[in-house]
Amino acid sequence: MHAPLIISDIESKGDYTISGGVDVSTESRNFNVNSNYAITDHVIVQASATYAKNHSDLKDYNSNGKSIDVAVGYTNISSDKHFYIENFMGYGHGNFNNIHFEDKTRYANFSYDKFFAQLNLNYRIHNYDEDINTFSFHIPIRLAYANYNKIAFTSLGNFSLGSQIEHLRENPRRLMLSAGKTISYRFDNVKLNLFASYTTPTKATELLTFGYLYVGFGVSWRNFLNKKNK
């Protein structure tokens, strides 16, 4: 299932962010909520929750899924840097259900665990000491190893999908590479994001995400409780 490629927007120890986003492919839409917290100037913990739903009229079944990712990462960001990196290592769990529109006894349900590594290459036009309002550009790259450990199905009435499910059952472990591009503009502690991402195709994603290219937008709030308490 598609998961967001998160940019932390963390600068120093004690910083935190809450963000939300929506991204779509040709046949699905995904909603995510994400959080980051800096336990030191360079070490970040991260969590993300995603809900996905199929919206295509061309399929004879309904699909939806949920996932949770957690990660710990390192950044070399500082106030005087234009270019900086973020590295994350994490774990994720998800499940998704495919149910026939008319016959509820026909279904294909899946659950997976994954481990992933993500590298974010980031560039901001102005550093934050010079200009609070600033553009930034981000290229996140993620490699994920997924194990589909629970597969339960009867039939969705589609031979090709049945073949994909059988192949997934016989080969439940997958490597998936995702890459994206994010353009952001920051107003003080609020950041607006436009992004696109691509995930390498596998038999699993052909069935479960209904597409490989996603585009979307999001909003991030940084240290908003601190500002309110001033």
Measure the CA–CA gap between 195 and 214, rounded to whole angstroms.
8
Strand bridging mode 16-24 / 107-124: unpaired
pTM over 0.85: no
Through-space distance between the first and last CA atoms of the chain, rounded to whole angstroms? 41
Report the distance separating Cα 77 and Cα 71, nearest Å. 18
The reported pLDDT for the residue numbered 199 is 81
112 backbone dihedrals φ, ψ, rounded to 5°: -145, 160
Task: Look at residue 62 and tell me if it is in a domain.
Answer: yes
How many domains is the chain built from?
A: 1
Proportion of the chain above pLDDT 70, given as a percent: 82
* Average pLDDT of span 79-90: 91
Answer whether residue 10 is part of any domain.
no
Q: What is the CATH number of the domain that holds 28?
A: 2.40.128
Does residue 12 fall inside a structural domain?
Answer: no
pLDDT of residue 106: 76
Residues in the chain: 230
Evaluate whether residue 3 is within a structural domain. Answer: no
Instruction: Map tokens 């940084």 to a residue.
Output: 222
> Following DSSP, what letter does each residue of 78-134 receive, concatenated?
-TT-SEEEEEEEEEEEEEEEEEESS-TT-EEEEEEEEEEEEEEEEEESS-TTT-SSE
Of 77-91, 148-162, 191-205, 208-222, the one with minimum mean pLDDT is: 148-162
How many CA atoms are closer than 13 Å to the CA of 1, on its beta-carbon side? 31
On whether residue 4 sits in a domain, the answer given is: no
Residue range 98-135, pLDDT digits in tens: 777 777 777 778 899 999 999 999 998 875 555 566 88
> SS3 for 163?
helix
Position 43 pLDDT exceeds 80: yes
User: What is the span of the domain harbouring residue 192?
Assistant: 19-229
Please report which confidence band the pLDDT of residue 28 belongs to, taking 50, 70 and 90 as the band edges: confident
Is position 1 within any domain? no
Residue 141: helix, strand or coil by DSSP?
A: strand
Task: Give the rounded distance of the alpha carbon of 68 from its chain centre.
Answer: 9
Torsion angles phi and psi, residue 24, rounded to 5: -135, 150
Using CA of residue 186, residue 117, residue 139, residue 214, what is the dihedral sign? negative
For residue 117, being part of any structural domain is answered with yes
In a domain, 14, yes or no: no
Given a contact cutoff of 8 angstroms between Cβ atoms, the answer to whether 36 and 8 are in contact is yes
